[in-house]
């Protein structure tokens, strides 16, 4: 009898444990979606956060475009970048020698080529074709001196503008970037207005900023211009929103004086949020950033080239990390502008031109879709460069 009683107790305990385990286990993500940890879910299973997804059903007014539960705000008569335009000094000569900022002020979209390793030939050739060069100093091992040597290898106002994606907005690094001649500063993973303030103030001289006067190669990079009198207006300050904290604080970030452009780091926002880029909740975050940039008179952009078409914010996307070039140019594999197989030009770097890095997979697109595969029937985009973080 005692043995039968103990057996019954054991069976009840086992059953209760199984019930608790089932209750605590997360539901599997829907087929084709990645969970927060990036793994594939079981095919056909409902997502663990199905209620949240349902509550963010795409708005019927999206008209077939990928979007969220809210619609993007429309610009009023002031248009995009109204505060950026208002802060320009009428005494600054136009067109600006920062070609990318000049095009933004003309309400044009701008795009770039990303350079992550020392290659002067590639930089000088790319300047002929793209609006700005995205020197990658967040994820590369380049030195400041290597960037400086590329910038002064082909100085002057003609061609794409040298921008640097910074490792951070610390004064020491901002000073190096501006002193070597960069006219665009891109600060990643900005979470609050204090980071945005540092990006804006260390990028410009007084009275609008607190960049320190000192030496550098900016005079060599921009010969024939009155650099000290014009650089504040030519400087373009870009902050990247890549976390949900940044999304939550985006109104304060966008209201920060001296910020010109707010762009989404699409891969990282998907990674940090755990939401696929076609998830309505992810798109609501994108639209929140879009609306804050518009409200406070800044420009809006996306690092991901796929956002040029097929999304509710595509028409308002003014800045893209990579391509396409306006004339259709793409760099030859091997880095330079010379014909395939030709020897690199003298002075182009240490030995042969380095092979470009393979594109990083885009996080959060359905079924492993790459940004070159245009969404929903759109024409495919030109080949892009380094993964758009």
Summarize pLDDT for 100-114 with one digit per residue, the tens: 999 999 999 999 999
C-alpha 335 chain-centroid distance: 22
Angle between the N-to-C axes of helices 171-179 and 193-202, in degrees from 0 to 180, rounded to the nearest 10: 40
pLDDT tens-digit readout, 149-207:
999 999 999 999 999 999 999 999 999 999 999 999 999 999 999 999 999 999 999 99
Residue-wise pLDDT for 42-86, tens only, equals: 334 345 556 666 667 899 999 999 999 999 999 999 999 999 999
Task: Return mean pLDDT, the chain.
Answer: 81
Selection from 85, 48, 94 nearest residue 261 by Cα: 85
Domains of the chain: residue spans and CATH: 79-325+361-377 (3.20.20.60)
Measure the CA–CA gap between 41 and 22, rounded to whole angstroms: 17
Instruction: With CA atoms as reference, report the closest residue to 169 among 200, 143, 145.
Output: 200
Q: Which of 57-66, 309-318, 367-376 has the highest mean pLDDT?
A: 309-318
Cis ω before 95 (30° cut-off from 0): yes
- What stretches of the chain adopt beta strand conformation (E)? 112-115, 132-136, 161-165, 184-187, 236-241, 261-264, 299-302, 319-320
Rounded to two decimals, what is the model's pTM?
Answer: 0.77
Residue 148 in this model has a pLDDT that exceeds 80: yes
Cβ-based neighbours of 231, under 8 Å, separated by 6 or more: 183, 204, 205, 218
Backbone angles phi, psi at 157, to 5 degrees: -85, -10
Asked if pLDDT for residue 301 goes beyond 90, the answer is yes
Measured CA distances, 353 to 116, 336, 345 (Å): 12, 7, 9
**Is the pLDDT higher at 348 or at 199?**
199
Q: Contact 185/199 with Cβ under 8 angstroms? A: yes
User: For the residues 236-243, what does the mean pLDDT come to?
Assistant: 98
Cα of first residue to Cα of last residue in the chain, in angstroms, is 67
Banded model confidence at residue 374, pLDDT cuts 50, 70, 90? very low
SS3 category, 171: helix
Q: State yes or no: pLDDT of 7 exceeds 80.
A: no
More confident residue, 138 or 23: 138
Element (H, E) at 251: helix 250-254
More confident residue, 331 or 370: 331
Confidence band, pLDDT 50/70/90 cuts, at residue 365: low
More confident residue, 30 or 181: 181
- Find the range with the poorest average confidence among 239-243, 255-259, 274-278, 339-343: 339-343
Cα-Cα-Cα-Cα torsion 318, 320, 325, 326, nearest 10 degrees, comes to -10
Q: Which residue has the higher pLDDT, 110 or 384?
A: 110
Whether the pLDDT of residue 305 is over 90: the answer is: yes
337 burial level (CB within 10 Å; 0-12, 13-18, 19+): middle
Q: Are 133 and 180 in contact (CB under 8 A)?
A: no
Q: Do 374 and 380 touch, CB atoms closer than 8 A?
A: yes
What pLDDT is recorded for position 52? 60
**Phi, then psi, of 278 in degrees rounded to 5:** -100, 5
- Evaluate if residue 314 carries a pLDDT over 70: yes
The pLDDT value given to residue 50: 63
DSSP 3-state of 81: coil
Task: Read off the tokens for 125.
Answer: 């050739």
């Amino acid at each position: 009898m005692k043995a039968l009683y103990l057996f019954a107790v054991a069976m009840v305990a086992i059953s209760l444990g199984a019930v608790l385990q089932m209750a605590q286990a997360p539901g599997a993500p829907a087929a084709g979606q990645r969970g927060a940890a990036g793994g594939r879910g079981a095919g056909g299973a409902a997502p663990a956060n199905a209620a949240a997804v349902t509550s963010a059903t795409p708005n019927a007014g999206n008209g077939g475009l990928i979007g969220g539960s809210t619609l993007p705000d429309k610009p009023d008569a002031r248009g995009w970048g109204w505060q950026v335009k208002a802060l320009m000094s009428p005494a600054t000569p136009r067109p600006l020698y920062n070609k990318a900022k000049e095009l933004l002020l003309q309400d044009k979209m701008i795009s770039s080529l990303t350079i992550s390793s020392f290659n002067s030939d590639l930089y000088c050739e790319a300047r002929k074709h793209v609006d700005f060069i995205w020197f990658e100093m967040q994820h590369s091992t380049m030195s400041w001196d290597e960037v400086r040597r590329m910038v002064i290898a082909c100085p002057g106002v003609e061609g794409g503008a040298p921008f640097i994606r910074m490792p951070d907005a610390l004064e020491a690094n901002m000073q190096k970037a501006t002193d070597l001649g960069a006219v665009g500063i891109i600060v990643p993973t900005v979470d609050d207005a204090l980071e945005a303030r540092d990006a804006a103030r260390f990028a410009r001289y007084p009275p609008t900023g607190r960049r320190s006067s000192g030496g550098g190669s900016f005079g060599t990079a921009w010969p024939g211009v009155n650099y000290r009198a014009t650089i504040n207006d030519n400087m373009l300050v870009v902050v990247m929103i890549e976390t949900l904290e940044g999304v939550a604080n985006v109104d304060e970030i966008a209201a920060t004086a001296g910020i010109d452009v707010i762009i989404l780091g699409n891969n990282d926002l998907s990674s940090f949020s755990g939401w696929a880029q076609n998830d309505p909740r992810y798109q609501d975050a994108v639209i929140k950033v879009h609306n804050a940039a518009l409200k406070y008179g800044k420009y809006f952009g996306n690092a991901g080239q796929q956002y040029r078409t097929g999304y509710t914010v595509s028409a308002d996307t003014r800045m893209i990390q990579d391509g396409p070039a306006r004339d259709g140019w793409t760099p030859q594999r091997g880095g330079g502008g010379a014909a395939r197989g030709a020897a690199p030009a003298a002075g182009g770097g240490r030995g042969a031109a380095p092979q470009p890095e393979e594109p990083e997979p885009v996080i959060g697109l359905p079924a492993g879709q790459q940004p070159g595969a245009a969404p929903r029937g759109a024409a495919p985009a030109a080949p892009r460069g380094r993964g758009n973080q």
